[in-house]
Amino acid sequence: MGEKAIDNESPFLERQPHVIKAYAIQLGRAAQRIRAEQTLTKTLGQSQRSQEEISGLMSRAKAVLVQNDFKEATQTLFDSCKNLLGAKIGYVALLNKKGTENGVFFLDSEGLPYPVDCNLAMPIRVLCDTVFHTRRAVFQNDFSNGGRMRLMPEGPLPLFNVLFAPMIVNGEGIGLLGFANKPGGFTEDDAHMASGFGKIMAIILTNKRMEEERESLLEYLEQRGHERTVELQRANEQLKKEIERSRQTEKILQLERNKLKGILESLNDGVYITNQNRDIQYINPVIEKEHGPVNGRKCHAYFHDLPTPCTWCKIQEVFAGKSVQWEWDSPQTGKTYDAFSTPILNERGDVMKMEILHDITEHKSVEESLRNALSEIKTLKDQLETENLYFRQEVKLKYQFGHIIGQSNAFKYVLHRAEQVAPTNTTVLILGETGTGKELIASAIHQMSPRKDRPLVTVNCAALPANLIESELFGREKGAFTGADTRQVGRFEVANGSTLCLDEIGELPLEVQAKLLRVIQHNAFERLGSSHTVRVDVRIIATTNRNLEEEVRKGRFRQDLYYRLNTFPITVPPLRQRKEDIPLLVQTFIERLSKGLGKQITSIQKETMKALQDYSWPGNIRELENVIERAVILSSGPLLKLSDKLENTSPLLPSTLRTLAETERDQILKTLSETRWRINGLKGAAEILDLHPSTLRARMQKLRICRPEVKLPE
């Protein structure tokens, strides 16, 4: 029929389409009336009826179209049409949605509809079907077999002629008009008139349906409006409650925010919050006081003066939901912080990073001081343990020799030289044969020096393997070499502030001599496995039974080291050059040994004493002590008797000593040759010579023994 468009920027509410539909129905009814009038005018204008009949029918029809009473309008129009056609019977048949008859209604003079029996005679049934399908008016004025239709509740009526016209609206058939028993029969003009009235009747019926639909819509809208009003009232009440709850929640949140802000601002630790772009969202007063205002800087620029994000920053872990903790140093404040970062949510639900900075600078300083103190305590503990060992050795040495005994001029000169050099820090070189008491003189110098409150530290250079003497002197770090499982303090560190006696310094390897020279010159050295320089204050006293000048000429001893050591030499005379001291020494040894062995020896014959004085004593005081000890053991009364006859031999000359060394060298070479230079293991040279492999290697290095194909540097 047509359409009405309504444009609106906002979406339609639930009831608006129903309102629009009701409005459209109202417009449709008006349009249908106009079409009905146009159809009526066209139909009557083509009719052969008189002008008076046409004018009267037009007036009644227009009056009918504007009536709101469907029953009255339908009856009036139907009666007018039946009377105009001159028919005795009239009825209306309606189609259902499937296009078949839904029912046939007869309209009597009272306007009351009565159902009509649909079991029509076959010819009439065919005419009705033709009208329904062709949608054109048809009529038939005679029936060869006749026709009847039964009216309720009356009996069947005879039909002589019939006229059927379709009721069509917008091209859709909704039913038909039926007229019957016109005297003289129906004409084409009757059919044309009936078609027009069928259209008008269809419009009236459609308007009726539209009116019913409009009333239904209005009723629905009224009901829905009421329901919607109730819903809106309930929603409004609920909204008021939600708003009130929201206000209360906001008050609580604001109180919590103020409380949290107060806590953060009262903390002694720094607190700041950043987003995922590293923009600083909040800093507490501690941060601002130490680092200043943010001024729009990102966290890496604010805290570290970096143009790009920190490589060590753990922000990704935090935004992944983890809490992390680490330490970092501030280049701005020079402080060390213990940082704890954790993810939090802001008011919009966005993940943020909150970091708490605890100043641990003082703690780290105290911790470092404690570590240093513990290290120092450990060092002092090790030093005290070592000093205690050396102190016991020194006491033992003093107890062994009692005190320095000697009245000879040669020995008095030695003591005089010792008294002269003792108060100084000068390096002393004590020379003398084996057993002359060089260690005792070194101890005496130390005891007369300002360093006497610290124990004398003694190192026997001949007793240590060459591969261990360096670590023994200078110390080592853990892992410095294979087997170095612990850190060891060297003898130089132990002797710091005291005196170090290097006994038998002539046995020192050349590579260690170079390091020793540096210590004497600069008072500094490095432990094995360390690049850290250790500075010490050590006085050095060296002893040797070798001719160091000869060793220097043969390249076995560094010349520069010899000159450093030979600053103040003291030569201890052999016992054969101080025979007047032998009676004093013998008496001292007898008293000490008798007491230790439970003997009561009180005298010695002159002949025995003379034999002791006439003997050359190649082993010097050590040999004398051994002879007296053996005599004390074997003597049964108060008189000391010598167990062995002393035979005078010439003192061992350096050439004789070299012959012994050569003999030892030949024996080692012979054994190595027999074992094909195998040192360790079963039937190795060390096992045959009954020596430890390390000791054998040390002797080989000292005697300059190497395999024939390997040339030892001069």
Q: From 359, 392, 412, give the residue that closes a domain.
A: 359
**Residue 582 and residue 567 share a domain:** no
Identify whether residues 50 and 151 lie together within a single domain. yes
What pLDDT shows up at residue 47? Answer: 57
482 pairs with which residues across the strands?
none
Q: Is 92 helix (H, G, I), strand (E, B) or coil?
A: strand
Mean pLDDT calculated for residue range 126-131: 74
Evaluate if residue 111 carries a pLDDT over 70. no
660 pLDDT tier (thresholds 50, 70, 90): low
Structural domain boundaries enclosing 292? 267-359
What is the average per-residue pLDDT within 675-684? 84
User: How far is Cα 393 from Cα 76, in angstroms, rounded to an integer?
Assistant: 152
Residue-wise pLDDT for 158-207, tens only, equals: 778 888 888 887 777 778 888 888 888 899 888 888 888 888 878 777 77
CATH number for the domain spanning 633: value is 1.10.8.60
Query: What is the identity of the amino acid at 463?
Result: A
Question: Is residue 377 in some structural domain?
Answer: yes
pLDDT computed for residue 383 by the predictor? 63
Domain end point (choices 185, 220, 255): 220
The rounded distance, in Å, linking the Cα atoms of 234 and 246 is 18
Q: How confident is the model at residue 228 (pLDDT cuts 50, 70, 90)?
A: confident
Query: Is there a single domain that holds both residue 22 and residue 106?
Result: yes
Most confident range (mean pLDDT) of 84-88, 91-95, 402-406, 586-590 is 586-590
- Give me the count of residues in the chain: 714
The answer to whether residue 250 is domain-embedded is no
pLDDT of 149 reads 54
Contact 457, 491 (CB under 8 A): yes
Weakest-pLDDT range from 68-82, 90-104, 631-645, 661-675:
90-104
Q: Residue 133: how many CA atoms within 13 Å on its side-chain side?
A: 6
Same-domain check for residues 53 and 126: yes
Q: Do 295 and 329 fall within a single domain?
A: yes
- 242 within domain boundaries: no
**Residue 513 falls within a domain, yes or no?**
yes
Q: Is the pLDDT of residue 692 over 90?
A: no
CA 85 to chain centre: 103
**CATH code, domain with 455:** 3.40.50.300
Which of 241-250, 393-402, 567-576 has the weakest average pLDDT?
Answer: 393-402
- The rounded distance, in Å, linking the Cα atoms of 71 and 73 is 6
> Could you tell me whether strands 351-359 and 336-345 are parallel, antiparallel, or unpaired per DSSP bridges?
antiparallel
Per the structure, how many domains does the chain have? 5
Considering the chain, what is the average pLDDT of its residues?
A: 77
pLDDT in tens, 481-492: 666 667 788 888
Q: For residue 713, name the pLDDT band (cuts at 50, 70, 90).
A: very low
Residue range 424-448: mean pLDDT, rounded = 92
504 and 405 together in one domain: yes
Q: How far apart are CA 264 and CA 285, in angstroms?
A: 9
* Radius of gyration of the chain measured on its C-alpha atoms: 69
348 or 459: which carries more pLDDT confidence? 459
Of residues 664 and 389, which shows the higher confidence score?
Answer: 664
Q: Does the pLDDT at position 138 exceed 50?
A: yes
Residue 512 resides in a domain: yes
d(CA 248, CA 264): 24
Burial class (CB in 10 A: 0-12, 13-18, 19+), 232: exposed
pLDDT at 399 over 50: no
Q: What whole-number distance in Å separates Cα of residue 391 and Cα of residue 88?
A: 158
Domain ends where: 327, 359, 391?
Answer: 359
Q: How far is CA 196 from CA 39, 42, 46, 169, 190, in A?
A: 6, 8, 10, 12, 10
Q: Look-up: residue for tokens 């009336």?
A: 33
List the structure tokens of 467.
């591969």
Instruction: Give me the mean pLDDT over the 335-344 stretch.
Output: 83
Same domain, 694 and 553: no
Question: Does residue 373 lie in a domain region?
Answer: yes
Q: Residue 209 above 80 pLDDT?
A: no
Q: By CB neighbour count within 10 A (0-12 exposed, 13-18 middle, 19+ buried), where does 238 fall? A: exposed
CB-based contact 507:462 (threshold 8 Å): yes
Specify whether 580 is located in the same domain as 548. Answer: no
Say if residue 153 is preceded by a cis peptide, omega within 30 of 0: yes
- Stronger pLDDT, 300 or 422, i.e. the higher one: 422
Residues 612 and 471 in one domain: no
**pLDDT band at residue 16 under the 50/70/90 scheme:** low
Higher pLDDT, 658 or 297: 297
pLDDT at 574: 92
- Most confident option among 202-216, 424-438, 625-639: 424-438
Listed in sequence order, the residues at least 6 apart from 107 whose beta carbon sits closer than 8 Å to its beta carbon are 74, 75, 78, 79, 90, 91, 92, 113
Q: Are 628 and 642 in contact (CB under 8 A)?
A: no
Examine residue 1 and state whether it is found in any structural domain, yes or no. Answer: no
Lowest mean per-residue pLDDT among 335-344, 375-384, 531-540, 642-651: 642-651
- Tell whether 601 and 453 lie within a shared domain: no
Q: Is the pLDDT of residue 151 over 50?
A: no
Q: Which two tokens stand for residue 532?
A: 């850290």
Q: Please tell me which residue, 141 or 658, carries the higher pLDDT value.
A: 141
Cβ-in-10-Å burial (0-12, 13-18, 19+) of 547 comes to middle
Reported as a pLDDT band with limits 50, 70 and 90, residue 208 is confident
Residue 141 lies inside a defined structural domain of this protein: yes
Bigger pLDDT: 373 vs 143: 373
Highest mean pLDDT among 344-348, 408-412, 610-614, 689-693: 610-614
Q: Which residues contact 478 (CB under 8 A, 6 or more apart)?
A: 484, 485, 486, 487, 529
CATH number of the structural domain spanning residue 114: 3.30.450.40
Residues 459, 514: one domain?
yes
441 contacts 554 by C-beta, under 8 angstroms: no
Across 327-337, average pLDDT? 78
- Would strands 138-140 and 162-169 be described as parallel, antiparallel, or unpaired? antiparallel
- Is the model's pLDDT at 118 over the cut of 80? no
User: What is the pLDDT averaged over residues 424-442?
Assistant: 92
User: Residue 613: helix, strand or coil by DSSP?
Assistant: helix
CATH number of the domain that 313 lies in? 3.30.450.20
Query: 175 and 203: one domain?
Result: yes
pLDDT recorded at residue 261: 66
- Report CA 355 to chain centroid distance, whole Å: 15
